[in-house]
Structure 1
Amino acid sequence: MRHRLSFTCEGVVLAATHDDAPGTAGLLIVSGGNEIRSGAHRGMAMLAQRVAAAGHPVFRFDRRGIGDSEGANGGYTASGPDIAAAIAAFRQAAPQVTRIVAFGNCDAASALLLHQPLALDALILANPWTYEDSEEEADEPALPPASAIRARYLSRLKDPKSLLRLLKGEIDVRKLFRGLSALKQAPQAPVPDGLADRLDSTLAELLCPVTILLATGDRTAQAFMESCGPSLAYIDKNPGTVRVERLASASHSFAGNDGEWLAVRILAALAA
């Protein structure tokens, strides 16, 4: 059964939704960007329903200044108190829960790392955000690394359907030239103590199990794979508390059929 409730964080009231279930392992969903707790196209609400039907309680919430919650929106970099308060509210709403697994996509994944330590037993991090300009809204979406763009266009050049679409004028030429121009740009040097470095450091120090989920055709995932490449290579060869799973998809939010792939991996983490 789905319940709407509220809890407080630093003196303001936050809205939440609790999908009740008898299990002792619960899922905390942290929303990315400025999305409300139901997610894009109600994706997180449907995920919560699926996970609860499998026997695991699920807790979702709107952070301060988002959706039905009060307060000022400080972005994901200021969401540590919100997440901590949500964990406490989840335990109060579902007292049988002895283990909480947190799931976040995009900057919600980064927030779960940046604000450690948190009273969590495992993390599921999807397409973590590593762009330094994350607090600013741009007219154009951020470009992926040059290596990712090169691989993408090479695959398209081999596809007769893509060439036919170009000849028919079905491809946005402005976006095409913007992407190709990025190939000429020299790789940016890592920002000292930048976001990617901080995420890497936190991953190296975490003791709880972590599952990283990457949609390999997604720009945000591609940037993460490039900036954290050495760490991912080490993790793949020496699996320990951190494991990486990849899906050949360009869907940032695991929409459509990709949602089943996501749900299966979340349920596996809850059952571990």
Structure 2
Amino acid sequence: MSYVEEAVLFAFAQQTQVGILSLPSTPADTGIVIAVGGPQYRVGSHRQFVLLARRLAAAGYAVLRFDYCGMGDSSGAAKDFLSATPDIAAAIDTLHAHAPQIRSTVIWGLCDAASAALLYLQDTQDARVTGLCLLNPWVRSEASLARTQVKHYYTQRLMQRSFWTKLLSGQVAWGALKGLAKNISLSAAPTPSIGLNKLPFQQRMAKAWIDFEGGILLLLSGNDYTAKEFLEYAGTDSAWSEAFQHPKLERHDLAGADHTFSNTLTQASVENLTLAWLATAKHAARINDGVEA
């Protein structure tokens, strides 16, 4: 399908945000907002978001990728994913304003953009959002990082003969073993129990995930510590105990993929899986004359 790309400006808190709208000639009922993860702007690593937006637009989906305040071409002070809710809300408003045919929105996010998408829902319960595409969600804490390092680095390293040879020969400092001991101690630390209004962001993410009635597409890289850390965290924290039983969860593990799916094959896989999931309409609320069926 043919589509056009245009820059759009939208205001938020006296700041100007910049986005790129990819608009098909006849948009589907569902539109996609691509949230940005990490300190980067709307293009993404190796032009990932550009390529994804164009592929989705060619398939008939209106897509908006945008810069948070303080990043790229948007004005204001830089912020992190914990403060991105107003930016995402403004982007969804803008997408619907420029493509009034859209009846629902999917948020697509990699790394801490996936986290921001969940936090947005926990903050707003925005009924317009009927689907989430989450890739390698960010749940980093001191304890979760330690658990991941112990399981996926230190355990394998201790099984290698070369490690002990270097240790006994003085090529590896005994400080490495002290680092292991410290990580084991940190990995055993429980999540602090605090008031409902001061939950750690990871538990707020879990609550949004479990309460969400729309569809969730989860894509995990096989060669990525962020993905491994997410699985470790979700497997040990009680707040996440029901997450993988979500009735509308579709999960794919991409063996060999790195954090940003940087090679051509894995990039294409992400695009294909996203399109296939959108086509099933598992993400969409069943709406008839404004009444959810």
Fold conserved between structures, TM > 0.5:
yes
TM-score by length of 1: 0.80
Query: Counterpart in 2 of 1:195?
Result: 201
Q: Does the CA contact (< 8 Å) of 1:145 and 1:223 recur in 2?
A: no
Task: Report the aligned-residue RMSD.
Answer: 3.0
From 73, 79, 82, the equivalent of 1:77 is: 82
CA–CA distance in 1 between the matches of 2:31 and 2:247? Answer: 22
AA aligned to 1:94 is: A
CA–CA distance in 1 between the matches of 2:210 and 2:89? Answer: 22
Q: Does the CA contact (< 8 Å) of 1:51 and 1:58 recur in 2?
A: yes
Query: Counterpart in 2 of 1:63?
Result: 68
| Runs of 5+ consecutive residues of structure 2 not aligned to the other structure | 167-171, 194-198, 282-293
1:200-248 per-position Cα deviation (integer Å, ceiling 9, x unaligned): 1221111121122211331111111111116777555x45023332222
Query: Counterpart in 2 of 1:170?
Result: none
AA aligned to 1:121 is: T
CA–CA distance in 1 between the matches of 2:233 and 2:131? Answer: 23
**Residue 148 of structure 1: how far off its partner (Å):** 5.8
CA–CA distance in 1 between the matches of 2:227 and 2:146? Answer: 10
**Higher gyration radius (CA):** 2
AA aligned to 2:32 is: L
Q: Does the CA contact (< 8 Å) of 1:131 and 1:195 recur in 2?
A: no
Query: Counterpart in 2 of 1:128?
Result: 137
AA aligned to 2:18 is: A
- Equivalent positions of 1:1-272 (< 5 A) are 1-21=4-24, 22-24=26-28, 25-116=30-121, 117-118=125-126, 119-132=128-141, 144-146=145-147, 149-151=150-152, 177=176, 184-187=184-187, 188-192=189-193, 193-229=199-235, 234-236=242-244, 238-256=245-263, 257-271=265-279, 272=281
Q: Does the CA contact (< 8 Å) of 2:119 and 2:208 recur in 1?
A: yes
1:106-125 per-position Cα deviation (integer Å, ceiling 9, x unaligned): 11111111122233121111
CA–CA distance in 1 between the matches of 2:18 and 2:191? Answer: 38
CA–CA distance in 1 between the matches of 2:243 and 2:250? Answer: 7
CA–CA distance in 2 between the matches of 1:124 and 1:217? Answer: 19
TM-score by length of 2: 0.75
**Residue 132 of structure 1: how far off its partner (Å):** 4.1
Identity across matched positions, percent: 31
